[in-house]
Amino acid sequence: VHRDVKPGNVRVHLPTSAAVLTDFGIARAGDGMHTDTGVVPGSPAFMAPELLAGAAPDAASDLYALGVTLFQLLSARLPFEGASMGELLRRAARDEAPALDTLRGGLAPALAALVARLLARRREAR
């Protein structure tokens, strides 16, 4: 479990166009909860709704963060925004992400559907 998938942790090797995930500083094998008590690892804007509710990080929460990363890459904005961190977290915890194809025309329907699935509120749907 990486626990901090975000654009700043992705590098692209231009000659091959390969994307590489970096910065495994807070990554954990197996049980993703091994951290200091009361500390929530990761970047709040990229955290899955279940993490905001206190659930343990897992592969599905990393997939959600990948969805936020792709959403930002393709739309130049986050799926949830707010005037404060609290407002951003409230929206991420309760609202559905906007459909990417409503913000950016010309996307392949399969790509918009993939991002929507990655941003599913229920971890089982990712």
Question: Residue 50 CB: number of other CB atoms within 10 A?
Answer: 18
Q: What Rg value do the Cα atoms of the chain yield, rounded?
A: 15
Q: Which residues contact 57 (CB under 8 A, 6 or more apart)?
A: 1, 3, 28, 32, 33, 41, 42, 51
Residues forming a β-bridge with 10: 21
pTM, rounded to two decimals: 0.82
Q: 39 pLDDT exceeds 90?
A: no
Q: 26 pLDDT exceeds 80?
A: no
37: pLDDT confidence band, cut at 50, 70 and 90?
very low
Span 68-75, mean pLDDT?
96
What is the distance between the alpha carbons of residues 1 and 83, in angstroms, rounded to a whole number? Answer: 30
3 a catalytic residue = yes
